[in-house]
Amino acid sequence: MARVLVACEYSGVVREAFRKQGHDAWSCDLLPSDDGSPNHYTCDMCAVVGRRWDLLIAHPPCTYLCSSGLHWNKRMPGRAYMTEAAIVFVKWISELDIPRIAIENPIGCLSTRFRKPDQIIQPWQFGHPESKATCLWLKNLPKLEPTNVLPKPASGRWENQTASGQNKLGPSADRWKIRSRTYQGIADALAEQYGKLL
């Protein structure tokens, strides 16, 4: 049994996938856990990363890092500063004294301002008929192997895409929360494949 920290996760999806594999997995976020689990720290991850962990799966907030939001940096005062702070945060995570680390984020400025990702995965490689390019930066971990690759639909669009290829999830107060939730197939692959290494 290994000690696993899933940082910047309030859904509990990845945490619970590791717990099902028998690991002592905990999540941590500024928000309380959606599932009410006692295995969740509601705090800044800085407060818990110093404990002994065998693996860190980190989902740093993408608001100021992803390509879809970077155009606001020249239009809204303060946003460019927040992007710089977010990059520093990711670099800090990557240098933590934890043997194995996976950092997850959408396509954005990290590829040029931090380093190129080790891998880009899609939900449709893990059994979900949807598209969402997700980058992985890995430390002492292999690339994630696809578990259930789905064929591209005849329409050429995945279930979450509009005709122009944009995400069709409409505006709402919870849109950011829904979009940031890890797909179950990806969470299971992380737990099964990386759990075997621990």
- Give the residue-averaged pLDDT of 116-140: 96
- Give the residue-averaged pLDDT of 111-124: 95
pLDDT of residue 176: 47
Higher pLDDT, 45 or 171: 45
Burial 36-73 (b: 16+ CB within 10 A, else e): eeebbbeeebeeebeeebbbbbbbbbbebbbeebeeeb
Q: Where are the domains of the chain?
A: 3-195
13-40 tens-digit pLDDT = 999 999 999 999 999 999 999 999 999 9
Cβ 104 vs Cβ 135: under 8 Å: yes
Query: How many Cβ atoms from other residues are within 10 Å of residue 155's Cβ?
Result: 9
Residue 53 has pLDDT above 70, yes or no: yes
CA distance 70 to 186: 26
CA distance 116 to 94: 13
pLDDT of residue 135: 96
Please state which of the four CATH numbers 3.40.50.880, 3.30.980.20, 3.30.70.890, 3.40.50.150 is assigned to the domain occupying 3-195. Answer: 3.40.50.150
Task: Please give the angle made by the CA atoms of 125, 148 and 5, to the nearest 5 degrees.
Answer: 70
Higher pLDDT, 163 or 140: 140
As to burial, measured by CB atoms within 10 angstroms (0-12 exposed, 13-18 middle, 19+ buried), residue 151 is exposed
pTM for the full model? 0.89
pLDDT of residue 172: 54
Report residue 81's pLDDT band, with 50, 70 and 90 as the boundaries.
low
Within 13 A of 146's CA, how many CA atoms are on the CB side? 14
Residue 104 has pLDDT above 60, yes or no: yes
pLDDT of residue 3: 98
